[in-house]
Structure 1
Amino acid sequence: MKVWLGFSLLLALQIACATFFLWEFLSSLLGLRAEPISWALYEMIEIGAALGLILGVIATALLLAWSLRARHRAEESLRLASGAFGELIEDRFDEWGLTPAERDVALFCIKGLSTAEIATLRQTSEGTVKAQTNAIYRKAGVTGRPQLLSLFIDALMDGPLTSPARDDAA
């Protein structure tokens, strides 16, 4: 919080410095200055304004570096989560004893593809895909795609990995 306050103050200083230089330019161009200030004071103001702009550039560079590091950490976390999700899927498929064809169909179901899309991708009939999805649901102990997907969502959210049909049987 304090860091953001500091950067906000630096931003305000940078805006004030840029406004000073713009005012100097416009007042010289349009002849708006009524009473001249001493040369020494004018130089001190210019040096301060230039330093303020330099501090703003440094703060911007620091924020950019921090932002890039945060982005890299987020991408790394996403990559790890994606790998963990893939491992979770493979573990469940092994647990359920899915055939290679059923694994493909189950993965496409989890990705949200329709029966027709799966049939097209696998170069098979929709009837075959329906039979395979029914076998997958039976082996997983679920009644449809939403429950199949919820098994994996629950596991990712550290919830119990149990199917509704298995809970009823217990």
Structure 2
Amino acid sequence: MTHRFWTYAIVLVLVVQALCAVFFVYNIAVALFGLTPLPWTAYEALELGAAVGLLSGSIIGAFALRRSFARTALVEAQLRAASGAFMELLEERFVEWGLTPAEADVALFAIKGMSLSDIAALRNTSEGTVKAQTNAIYRKAGVSGRPQLLSLFIDELMSGPVTGGPANAPEPPAVRSAEDRVGL
């Protein structure tokens, strides 16, 4: 079922539930203020309609909640895939630039936003060594500093899918079939 269907179904159920609430508030007002009650047959029909409305709201709400959970799972899976693809992109660029294993570690920590002193502590080296390694990384990458290094990856991610295909490439079959299962 389409997104539009679910939107209309939820709006319709909300309207029905609002009418059910009006019925029950009217019922209380009749008891409190001594208003003239509805004829018995009309009252029973409205009460039955209110019960059906509340039941349908519960059912549609359960389906909507299930759909929401499925959509959340799909988005989380896509985020995990993008995160993994980002790491692949980093590794590809590090190899392309000819970074040593130590420089690749330092570059990764720098991209994560760690300070030179934090990187030095993690790598059990001096800050001077880390500074020399970052300068070598920037030179090999053709940038002048950390912000430009990070922008290389951000620009590449924003230019299209992380997989390297064109921006208008079709979705992978796994994503498409997951969306079909969820009904998106």
Cα distance in 2 for residues equivalent to 1:35 and 1:134: 86
Report the Cα offset of residue 54 of structure 1: 0.9
Change (3 A) 1:38 1:141: same
Alignment identity in percent? 57
Change (3 A) 1:27 1:34: closer
Which runs of structure 2 are paired with 1:15-164 in the superposition (5 Å)? 15-28=18-31, 30=32, 32-158=33-159
Cα distance in 1 for residues equivalent to 2:111 and 2:51: 58
Structure whose CA Rg is larger = 1
Report the Cα offset of residue 2 of structure 1: 5.3
2:30–2:37 CA contact under 8 A, matched in 1: no
Q: Which has the higher contact order (CA 8 A, sep 6+)?
A: 2
Report the Cα offset of residue 91 of structure 1: 0.9
Cα distance in 2 for residues equivalent to 1:125 and 1:23: 77
Instruction: Identify the residue that residue 165 of structure 1 maps to in structure 2.
Output: none
1:18–1:53 CA contact under 8 A, matched in 2: no
Q: Which amino acid aligns with 2:118?
A: E
TM-score (norm 2): 0.78
Change (3 A) 1:150 1:42: same
Cα distance in 2 for residues equivalent to 1:119 and 1:40: 82
Report the Cα offset of residue 26 of structure 1: 4.7
Q: RMSD value over aligned CA atoms?
A: 1.7
Q: Which amino acid aligns with 2:88?
A: E
Q: Deviations over 1:25-46 (max 9, x none)?
A: 3532x2x233233222211110
Instruction: Identify the residue that residue 13 of structure 2 maps to in structure 1.
Output: 10
Cα distance in 1 for residues equivalent to 2:133 and 2:37: 88
Cα distance in 2 for residues equivalent to 1:104 and 1:92: 13
Q: Which amino acid aligns with 1:118?
A: I
2:116–2:131 CA contact under 8 A, matched in 1: yes
* Unpaired segments ≥5 residues, structure 1: 160-170
2:17–2:54 CA contact under 8 A, matched in 1: yes
Q: Which amino acid aligns with 2:25?
A: L
Report the Cα offset of residue 51 of structure 1: 0.6
Q: Deviations over 1:52-110 (max 9, x none)?
A: 11111112112111211111111111011011001111111111221121111100111
